[in-house]
Amino acid sequence: MKRFISLFSTLLALLHRSIHHQNSKAGLGGINRKTKSMNMGKIKKGMAARTQNLFNRLIALFLYIYKLKYRNAKVGALILILLFMVSWFTEPIPESNEPLIFDENGNFVAAPPAPPSLTFPLGTDLGARSMVNLILVGIKYTLGAVIGITLIRFFLGIILALLTTLWYPGLKRYFTAFFWPFRYFPPLLAGIILIIPVAAVPIGISPKVILEYQILVLMFIGLPGVYSFILDLIDEIEKQPFVLSSTLMGASKFHTLIKHVWPNIQSHLLLLFTQQMLSVLQLLTFLGIFSLYLGGPHPTALTNDPRLIYRSISNELAGMAGQNFWLIRRAPWMAYSPIVMIAFIAIVVNWMKKGIEDHIAGVVPVRNRANSRAEKEVEEKLSCSRSFVLVGVPEQPAAEHEKKSYYSDLFLEKLRMARGYMCRYKIFRIIDMGALKAAEHISEYPRQIFTALLMVSFVLWAGVFSYAEFLGKDEASPKHKEAKSTEASSEPKESQDLYSYSFTNKEHVPVNYKAELTYQDADAILKGSLHISTVNTTGANQEKIYFHLYPNQFKEPIDGPDWKFILGPSPAPGWMDIADIKVNNKKAEFKVEGTILEIQMKEWESKETAELDIQFNFQLPVNYSNASYDYAAVWLGSFLPKQAVYDKNGWNLDPYSPLGYPFYSETANFDVTIGTAVKYQVLSNAEEANATIESNGENQKYHVKAENLRDFSIVLLDKQYYQAERFMANNDTLVNVWYRPSIDKQEIANRNAMGAGQSIDFFEEIYGTPLPYKELDVIRTGESNPQMAYQGMIFTPGYNFTDNNFSSLSMTEGVIRQWLSGMVGTQGYKEPWVNEGLVSFSLKTYMGEKGYLTSSSAEDQLKQQEEIVRIQKEGQYLSSPLSDFKNINDYSIMMGLQGYNLYAELDNLVKAGKVNKAIKNYVNEYKNKNASGHDLITLFEKAGHPQAKGYFEGWLKQETKE
């Protein structure tokens, strides 16, 4: 190799001298003069001269680069900069949802992912995007992350080492002791442990925050190594005589740093920088293999793929390699393309590191070596000699190798004798042959064998542990049940297959509620009287009538992990006391059990109107429920006593559940007056144009009427804490987003308003009917309230006003529920799948249209399906009521993922937009009504899919769907 470099250097020098001698008098001016006359001969001579001059300059450039100090580092840095600049100016190709790829002439190329070809040199991904483009786009993120994290480690390590060595040596032992264990703890393991809780799955944290956290983690796990390296280097330099002499002569710490330490560590720091770049690149690559991407996972899916997966949000090389690694057998080019580019970057950085190491070690390049005659003579003399001796040491005669005997050799010989003796028996020969074959197999595939053994032992351990834990739970505590409430005698116990028949009451007459309310700010108590006018549409005489008192759910302490999310960190109880009830102006008997109010009606004949008067006091709880308060606002949803729904199954007296939307109701008319302090801005889900406000000193009265609402909601906003951002939809629906500017971000509030308005425009076309009200209020409630949508009003939590990229999608989900849950009601406790599956399908349709969704990896799809199978094996199905779900995670997977899969697969089967047509018919036919699963399936049959019932039963019936 050295001879080749020497020969190449000599050849370049000879060419340079030759060309320089021939063209010493030929410059650009001379060439231009020669080419003034336009005859062909002079043009050819001029072109030859230009080519020769260009070649001469290239050789001079090569020679200049070849003689550079830190040549490898400078050339490698130039290569990385060029890669970064190319990546910076490369525009990403949009993802395609088309199942086939055609060229510019309309010729079929391939189906994505397409293999490498002339059209796509490195193939395409699942979204028909060229891997060349994806790699060029991702290079800048990879290099930026690698260099950025390295710089942070580098400068923090330098500053910390210098401070603890030169100025604060007393702190050195503490930092050394703290960082010592990190020399032996694998950085990859530390990174996985620290990053998984934040960046493994979406948990509502913005990608920016996740990225900042990952950078801090990657910086921290590499900082001990940088600090220790620099510390050892400085300690070594300080022991040198010239540094000690300078210190004894009174040199200051700063002088010692500038004149002695810094000049001697420059090269080592450059070497350290390249080593850290390689370390960070390797760490990012392995984290990508474990699906821990920079910026966190990005939920994406192709619109023709019903499964949601998570990918790298930036498509940086390490994340791309990780998300495509599991496709290495199906589409190897998708994994190998980013891996090859990562390997190229690693080779360049390693080449830079090797050049710096040679410079530090004093390895002199051939071009810089002395070429004196004396050196040549020494080399010639040395080359003639084949034996070397140390000066001053007498040459020793070569001694013959003595063969020594060891006890191990004797032991092996005895074993061979014993084996030969035993081989006389056939059974031993069979065992011996099997052992030899097993040994050969293990020696050929050691990693796979021991990995399999380790996996089997782990599975056995996990199985025994899980079984013991299951037995412990089974014996220690009863199975988790929902909070109990009074059951109506007319409600049948066996309602396991509700989707096979319609049970909704189509003879509904809206109930009229007239409420007189007063809010006492000091005690957080709402005093009220409620007049109810209701018609008996049950088809039979009734002796009782039932109402839901949902606030009573928080009267007593509640256990359970799902309730903790609603209760919040510092809950306080709340309840509703019923003071007096009259039926048709006569005092009536009643009882309250849990969240159910039972009133004796005596003879309430069919089609007869009953007038009820209820006096109540509502002590507001402190929590994250639908009716609560904090220092800046009071939000009241599902707070009035509400008549239970009577249908073909009887009275629906289902309890308050922490899962889903358990508030089953029918449309009603409301006439509400509330008295409050004037400091509050009062808003309700009725149109504010119909509201009136009367002020009287420090108090005010707000009055409003509304028709065809399933529930009445109202908020009291402290004016000093709230302001609004507004957006007008295309149909002149005004979107008002009320937020707290002191802690929330105005640009996020504005984005939420725009997102809600654009969603209204989108779904008015999808559902084929406009919103019946011209105002939508989005109210910022507590910090972590579960989002709740009422007709004309959305309660949304405070985290949707921070740097959260998914806040606008939360607004979209709330807008969807204006149709599905608002206009069209369902039995959300017994049949949550009816509207929840449609909400998931609608939301992901919107996400696909707006570019939120991309394709999923095969591994992620497999994990999702395995999770669904696990949930179904535990007795939780798409058709299950809320009481059957064990936790919110299982419920969310079945409704959000499996519910979407149901409609997405049907849409893929029937084509021609029949699913959208059926959904549009569903919304329009059951506007201001309730619908059951049977009603929904019937509409799908009418929309052009006669086998819809069998299809839905295949997804809803209680058996595992593989």
Q: Name the β-bridge partners of 130.
A: 124
Cβ 546 vs Cβ 644: under 8 Å: yes
Q: Render pLDDT for 837-858 as a digit per residue (tens, 0 to 9).
A: 999 999 988 888 877 765 666 6
- In this predicted structure, what is the pLDDT of residue 599? 95
Q: Render pLDDT for 200-257 as a digit per residue (tens, 0 to 9).
A: 776 667 778 888 888 888 888 888 888 888 887 777 777 766 666 666 666 666 676 7
Residues in the chain: 962
- In this predicted structure, what is the pLDDT of residue 490? 38
pLDDT at residue 62 above 90? Answer: no
How far is 813 from 892, CA to CA, in rounded Å? 14
Alpha helices in 615-732 (DSSP H): none
651 phi, psi to nearest 5 deg: -75, 130
**Strand ranges across the sheet with 642-643:** 590-593, 596-604, 542-548, 642-643
Which of 50-59, 223-232, 372-381 has the highest average model confidence (pLDDT)? 223-232
Of 290-299, 346-355, 552-561, 860-869, the range with the lowest mean pLDDT is: 290-299
Question: What string of DSSP letters covers 721-777?
Answer: T-EEEEEE-TT-PEEEEEE-TTTS-HHHHHHHHHHHHHHHHHHHHHHSS--SSSEEE
- In this predicted structure, what is the pLDDT of residue 718? 93
Cβ 344 vs Cβ 325: under 8 Å: no
Q: Render pLDDT for 403-459 as a digit per residue (tens, 0 to 9).
A: 444 444 555 566 666 766 666 666 766 776 777 666 655 555 454 555 555 545 444
Which of 43-52, 188-197, 783-792 has the highest average model confidence (pLDDT)? 783-792
Q: N- to C-terminal Cα distance for the chain?
A: 61
- In this predicted structure, what is the pLDDT of residue 112? 67
- pTM recorded for the entire structure: 0.53
How far is 742 from 631, CA to CA, in rounded Å? 13
Q: What is the average pLDDT across 565-572? A: 86
Q: Render pLDDT for 134-186 as a digit per residue (tens, 0 to 9).
A: 888 888 888 888 888 889 888 888 888 878 877 777 777 777 777 777 777 78
Tokens linked to 273: 């920088």
- In this predicted structure, what is the pLDDT of residue 364? 42
Q: Render pLDDT for 900-944 as a digit per residue (tens, 0 to 9).
A: 888 888 888 777 678 888 899 999 999 989 999 888 888 888 876
Q: Name the β-bridge partners of 635.
A: 628, 715
Q: Name the β-bridge partners of 671.
A: 514, 705
CB atoms within 10 A of CB 177: 9
Cβ 285 vs Cβ 321: under 8 Å: yes
**334 vs 833: which has the higher pLDDT:** 833
How far is 432 from 638, CA to CA, in rounded Å? 78
Residues 6 or more apart from 268 whose CB is under 8 A from it? 233, 360
How far is 163 from 157, CA to CA, in rounded Å? 10
633 phi, psi to nearest 5 deg: -160, 160
Tokens linked to 505: 């009451």
How far is 855 from 848, CA to CA, in rounded Å? 11
**722 vs 246: which has the higher pLDDT:** 722
Say if strands 668-677 and 699-709 run parallel, antiparallel, or are unpaired: antiparallel
Q: Render pLDDT for 26-39 as a digit per residue (tens, 0 to 9).
A: 444 554 454 444 56
Of 172-181, 306-315, 430-439, 570-579, the range with the lowest mean pLDDT is: 306-315
Distances, alpha carbon 911 to alpha carbons 704, 768, 907, 908, 924, in Å? 46, 19, 6, 6, 21
Of 162-171, 301-310, 324-333, 649-658, the range with the lowest mean pLDDT is: 301-310
Q: What is the average pLDDT across 382-409? A: 42
Which band of pLDDT confidence, cut at 50, 70 and 90, is reported for residue 343?
Answer: confident
Of 10-19, 161-170, 479-488, 794-803, the range with the lowest mean pLDDT is: 479-488
How far is 923 from 818, CA to CA, in rounded Å? 11
How far is 93 from 133, CA to CA, in rounded Å? 7
pLDDT at residue 804 above 80? Answer: no
pLDDT at residue 369 above 60? Answer: no
Of 94-108, 511-525, 713-727, the range with the lowest mean pLDDT is: 94-108
Q: Render pLDDT for 613-672 as a digit per residue (tens, 0 to 9).
A: 999 999 999 999 999 999 899 999 999 999 999 988 889 999 999 988 888 999 999 999
Mean pLDDT taken over the chain? 77
pLDDT at residue 834 above 50? Answer: yes
CB atoms within 10 A of CB 410: 10
**Percent residues over pLDDT 90 in the chain:** 24
Cβ 334 vs Cβ 324: under 8 Å: yes
897 phi, psi to nearest 5 deg: -95, -55
- In this predicted structure, what is the pLDDT of residue 354? 80
Tokens linked to 742: 């002191």
**Strand ranges across the sheet with 680-684:** 627-629, 633-637, 713-718, 680-684
3-state secondary structure of 285: helix
Beta strands in 175-329 (DSSP E): 297-300, 309-312
The identity of residue 144, as a single letter, is G
- In this predicted structure, what is the pLDDT of residue 309? 59
Which band of pLDDT confidence, cut at 50, 70 and 90, is reported for residue 476?
Answer: very low
pLDDT at residue 581 above 90? Answer: yes
How far is 817 from 788, CA to CA, in rounded Å? 9
